[in-house]
A and B are shown apart, each in its own frame.
Chain A
């Protein structure tokens, strides 16, 4: 599975959009981009995934560049409850669900 690079931490003001970057320059054609988050002391939670098209669900939007070497997770209106560690993971679906977590980005949403 391709390796990802994320900033260690970032702050965001409550009510503003949070844009979380992820670099995956070695991604291969059949690898998907997945985002999970982990709120303090809880188990990780799935957010969204995509292959090459932009995706949106009730939690977030995922923007993948045309060359697929990077992506951005967008939390449109950050709330205090969005304070968490966000993990960007790249893998092939046929790897049967195994997830390789990096260090992630610690996002702190401030009032």
Chain B
């Protein structure tokens, strides 16, 4: 069955380190998204991609970057981790076709920056 996976599921890092969170989907979806969710808040969009070599900034993109070299993967990089980036990160993907645009979400990565 098609799925979307994230790794690692839990990560503890130190301030100033570079961190990369992986997202892999086997739906063959063109659209991929990264969100963060902080305690007491809804999900906020960080970056998104509509296809290979396409990346776009979302609502809270400062301090994050993404690259899309193939359809299946959209890794999220924190260039220099900060304590404010402690959060749960969700990756999602969706098809480009039809009004549904149903997004399929991964299980999340819990990141702690000390």
Contacts and interface: CB of A to CB of B under 8 A. Distances in A.
A104 B103 contact: no
Given A93-B99, A96-B96, A97-B33, A45 B42 contact: no
Interface residues of A, number: 21
Most chain B CB inside 10 Å of its own CB: which residue of A41, A98, A103: A98
B99 A32 contact: yes
Q: Classify the secondary structure of A's interface with B.
A: loop
A49 interface: yes
B99 A51 contact: yes
Contacts of B94: 97
Interface of A: 32, 36, 41-46, 49, 51, 87, 93, 96-104
Interface of B: 31, 33, 35, 41-45, 48, 50, 58, 90, 92, 94, 96, 98-108
